[in-house]
């Protein structure tokens, strides 16, 4: 996948033509079950490949928490955030970004805890996969969500030329307001992915595997009740050791993603916490 060119003019036309600026979340995200094209069952690989049209592809995974109040993040992205991300990255000289959307829920409680799109470059296909995400809106009272499924899928079910050909890691962002569940059993992976050989994995083991070919970040949204808990932030800091970004408002998500990719493609330098750079973010 990944064919077609990105055009901010075309993207803005789509936003206006489809009325995204005035429609509610549920008027845009109309799915009442997982879209068959995003069902991970039987999926072997998702590819971000170079081509004559995109000779220097850069793989970027955006894994969106679709439980509870976090459905507002995809809503923000489809209205304006995605266009801001693509424009900023391309203007920074990264000509061939390819974005894959994942939907993340709770594998202990939800019917659709993992949804997988395709790596895409064009505005119309990015819009298609983003709006195909099923906002199940559940989760459970088990103090966590399945962000580790994004790490699992990235590690074992993606093939990316930026790393395979140029040893340039891709980027993986999980976005949400809960802790990560500590483990996923092999039995669940087999049930959701289909026939194959699976293991029981801890979150830490899957994070380490994903980091072999991706710069992995978590954007923690602080404006919800769960997101405001210091113990949740501390847990993420201990696990990620430098690649946590805690933001006060979900509207900062696009700026954070575009800044990290634009400024750090292939050159990420861990700190205790990745600090906001803009004056606006420093005031939060």
Mean pLDDT of 220-230: 91
What DSSP string describes the chain? ---S---HHHHHHHHHHTTTTTS-HHHH---SS--GGG--TT---EEE---SS-TT-EEEEEEEE-SGGGGHHHHHIIIIIHHHHHHHHHHTT---EEEEEEEE--TTT-S-SEEE---B-SHHHHHHHHHT--------SSS-B-THHHHHHHHHHEEEHHHHHH---EEEEEEESSPBPSEE-HHHHHHHH-SS----EEHHHHHHHHTTTEEEEEEEE-SSTTTT-HHHHHHHHHHHSS-EEEESSGGGHHHHHHHHHHHHTT-----SS----SHHHHT-
So what's the pLDDT on residue 2? 64
What are the domain boundaries of the chain?
Answer: 8-282
26 versus 99: the higher-pLDDT residue is 99
Report the percent of the chain where pLDDT is more than 90: 76
So what's the pLDDT on residue 1? 59
Mean pLDDT of 149-153: 98
Specify the CATH superfamily of domain 8-282.
Answer: von Willebrand factor, type A domain (3.40.50.410)
Residue 142 above 80 pLDDT?
Answer: no
So what's the pLDDT on residue 271? 39
User: What is the pTM (predicted TM-score) of this model?
Assistant: 0.92
So what's the pLDDT on residue 266? 42
Residue 36 above 60 pLDDT?
Answer: yes
Contact 176, 104 (CB under 8 A): yes
- Which tens digit of pLDDT belongs to each residue from 75-96? 999 999 999 999 999 988 899 9
Mean pLDDT of 14-21: 93
- Which tens digit of pLDDT belongs to each residue from 233-281? 999 999 998 899 999 998 899 999 999 998 875 444 433 334 445 433 3
Long-range contacts of 184-188, Cβ-Cβ distance < 8 Å, separation of 24 or more: 184/107, 184/146, 184/148, 184/149, 184/152, 188/107
**Lowest model confidence (mean pLDDT) among 35-39, 53-57, 265-269, 272-276:** 272-276
| b/e map 33-46, b = 16+ CB within 10 Å | ebbeebbbeeeeeb
């Amino acid at each position: 996948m990944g064919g077609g060119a990105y055009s901010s003019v075309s993207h803005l036309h789509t936003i206006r033509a489809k009325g995204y600026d005035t429609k509610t979340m549920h008027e845009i995200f109309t799915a009442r079950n997982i879209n068959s094209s995003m069902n991970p069952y039987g999926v072997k690989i998702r590819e971000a490949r170079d081509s004559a049209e995109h000779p220097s592809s850069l793989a970027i995974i955006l894994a969106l928490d679709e439980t509870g109040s976090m459905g507002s993040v995809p809503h923000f992205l489809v209205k304006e955030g995605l266009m801001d991300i693509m424009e900023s990255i391309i203007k920074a000289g990264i000509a061939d970004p390819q974005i894959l959307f994942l939907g993340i829920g709770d594998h202990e409680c939800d019917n659709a805890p993992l949804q997988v799109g395709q790596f895409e470059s064009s505005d119309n296909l990015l819009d298609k996969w983003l709006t195909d995400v099923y906002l199940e809106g559940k989760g459970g009272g088990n103090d966590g969500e399945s962000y580790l499924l994004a790490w699992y899928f990235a590690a074992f079910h993606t093939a990316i030329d930026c790393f395979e050909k140029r040893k340039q890691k891709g980027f993986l962002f999980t976005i949400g307001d809960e802790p990560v569940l500590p483990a996923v059993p092999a039995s669940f992976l087999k049930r959701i992915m289909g026939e194959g050989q699976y293991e029981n994995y801890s979150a830490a083991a899957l994070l380490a595997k994903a980091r072999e070919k991706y710069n992995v970040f978590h954007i923690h949204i602080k404006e919800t009740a769960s997101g405001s808990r210091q113990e949740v932030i501390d847990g993420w800091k201990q696990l990620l050791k430098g690649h946590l970004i805690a933001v006060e408002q979900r509207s900062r998500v696009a700026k954070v993603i575009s800044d990290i990719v634009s400024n750090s493609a292939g050159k990420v330098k861990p700190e205790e916490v990745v600090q906001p750079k803009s004056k606006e973010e420093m005031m939060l």
